[in-house]
Amino acid sequence: MTRILSMFYLILFLGISAAGLYISYHILRYSISKQRAALTMTLFASVFILLLATNATLFFRINWDTLIGNGIYLKQPTNYSRF
């Protein structure tokens, strides 16, 4: 299960990175001046990398086997009461 979730996260990570490259390109290409482009790009890149690294760190710290288990969330409780 961990391998599947890691593969999905890799796809998400690559998609977010591609979006970051797309935004970076437009910041550099369509800025009013080169000075503003450099400032904006520095700010965007630092925040983007910080958030992406934090997200990856928190994702890989989750123990998915303990959280999900062996499908235990699909089983009916043994002492089920309607009242």
Q: What are the tens digits of pLDDT across the range 22-75? A: 999 999 999 999 999 999 999 999 999 999 999 999 998 988 777 776 655 555
d(CA 83, CA 81): 6
- Residue 7 tokens read as 């593969």
Domain ranges of the chain: 29-59
SS (H, E, C) 11-42: HHHHHHHHHHHHHHHHHHHCCCCHHHHHHHHH
